[in-house]
Amino acid sequence: MAKTKTKTLTYDVAERLRTPEEMALYLDACIEESGGDAAFIAKAMGDIARAQGMTKVAEGAGLSRESLYKSLSGERVPDFSTVLKVMKSLGLKLHTEVA
């Protein structure tokens, strides 16, 4: 019997984030699952930024596209001021609730 090769496809969550509501729910889920890993949360914000268009988000945040890619790569923790600028550009708000 001949072996068949299994073909895998690369999954890119940014291609699935279509509405602001989906983006907000995705970020909330990532924050919940992050265990306090700020780089993980930054990567999730990067996924949302790619879904919206990095150039557009960078312009809205007053950052260069390259700087935005680096900040949201998941390899570093961005400054909180960068997080706030990007959140505003993404059309998302941070809020708090009692733990």
H or E element, residue 59? helix 54-61
Query: Is 12 among the domain residues?
Result: no
Residue 70 sits in which domain range? Answer: 19-90
Q: Report pLDDT for 2.
A: 74
Angstrom distance (rounded) from CA 40 to CA 33 = 9
Does pTM surpass 0.85?
Answer: yes
6: left (phi over 0), alpha (psi -120 to 50) or beta: beta
| pLDDT tens for each residue of 13-69 | 999 999 999 999 999 999 999 999 999 999 999 999 999 999 999 999 999 999 999
Could you give the number of structural domains in the chain? 1
Query: Is 73 among the domain residues?
Result: yes
Query: Is 52 among the domain residues?
Result: yes
Q: Report pLDDT for 1.
A: 65
Query: Is 66 among the domain residues?
Result: yes
